[in-house]
A = this chain, B = another copy of it.
């Protein structure tokens, strides 16, 4: 795997607002909880950042059980429904363990109202989290979540409410379930987001044809995994051209080549999600592959690659 770990290797660092990540590979929100449960299955401290499960002002039970996830061709549909311990328990019980990995930890927040988001951000402002991701794109809750993220004005409202509550870099996480994701990205950036991340899941449904009921207890959920990758790459490409803020790309990344598609299309950083359920060391594998690619292509820094796509002439 080439020059991995050598001191003279390419520069992999990434700038997200005032935050510098040591490399572009992050863990996506909701995949590995508050960071402690996967401990020991890979060297998560090696990655650029760990985004924790989205939390809300108060703890939430999430959607009813049986089932909350279901497999689909090259993907899965989940409807966890933002089950979480609440922002206060996150800070008191969970954060110290997540921080012990020795890499940047990013909190993810959600709420029913812009004020809810702001309240979470205010609490997190006093903690060592490196940044705050604003989840306005969860398809699995009735109020809040995607209801904000599908509307540019409502998205901006949330970002505007959070902005004064913290000096931490703010990342707005976008849903792909919209007609014009660029408009929403621009609205978030204008409202003060330092970066945008995308995509959250594509809303979806799986039917059990024998019982004629939805497989998910919540009826609907969000599609993730390799299945959505080409759709996620396009949205990353579009948003990267629409805003000057850095873009964190994700959706179906399984290997380094997948991650490089996002980076070349315009992502400054990438996140691995679903793949971690199959391969807990996928982030490390992707990181090693990106480093190897840079070495092989004699690129001194990742920055040279970000958005370096050359379009075809078209017709």
Q: Chain A interface (Cβ within 8 Å of chain B)?
A: 61, 63-64, 72-75, 77, 81, 150, 177-179, 202-207, 209, 212-214, 216-220, 223, 225-231, 233-234, 237, 252, 254, 257, 260-261, 264-265, 293, 305, 308-315
Contact (A313, B64) CB under 8 Å given A229-B72, A233-B207: yes
Contact (A203, B234) CB under 8 Å given A73-B252, A219-B314, A227-B228: yes
Give complex CA distance A252, B305 in Å. Answer: 34
Residues of the B chain whose Cβ atoms lie less than 8 Å from the Cβ of A217: 312-315
Give complex CA distance A252, B231 in Å. Answer: 15
Give complex CA distance A178, B293 in Å. Answer: 36
Q: Which 10 A-B pairs have the closest CB atoms?
A: A227-B227, A204-B230, A74-B74, A73-B226, A205-B234, A73-B74, A207-B261, A209-B260, A178-B179, A204-B231
Contact, CB under 8 Å: B212 / A309: yes
Most chain B beta-carbon neighbours within 10 Å: one of A75, A216, A310? A75
CB-defined A-B contacts under 8 Å, sample of 14: A64-B313, A64-B314, A73-B227, A74-B226, A75-B230, A179-B179, A202-B231, A203-B231, A207-B233, A212-B309, A213-B312, A216-B312, A217-B313, A218-B312
Give complex CA distance A216, B312 in Å. Answer: 8
Contact, CB under 8 Å: B234 / A220: yes
Give the number of times this chain occurs in the complex, counting copies: 2
Give complex CA distance A234, B201 in Å. Answer: 13
Contact, CB under 8 Å: B314 / A63: yes
Give complex CA distance A315, B80 in Å. Answer: 11
Contact, CB under 8 Å: B207 / A309: yes
Residues of the B chain whose Cβ atoms lie less than 8 Å from the Cβ of A77: 230
Residue of B whose beta carbon sits closest to that of A311: B219
Contact, CB under 8 Å: B63 / A214: no
Shortest CB-to-CB span from A161 to chain B, Å, is 22
Contact, CB under 8 Å: B75 / A209: no
Contact (A312, B214) CB under 8 Å given A205-B237, A209-B260: yes
> Which of B64, B229, B315 lies in contact with A315, CB distance below 8 A?
B64
Contact, CB under 8 Å: A264 / B209: yes
Give complex CA distance A178, B81 in Å. Answer: 23
Contact (A261, B206) CB under 8 Å given A230-B77, A230-B223, A309-B212: yes
Residues of the B chain whose Cβ atoms lie less than 8 Å from the Cβ of A260: 207, 209
> Which of B74, B212, B233, B264 lies in contact with A227, CB distance below 8 A?
B74
Shortest CB-to-CB span from A284 to chain B, Å, is 19
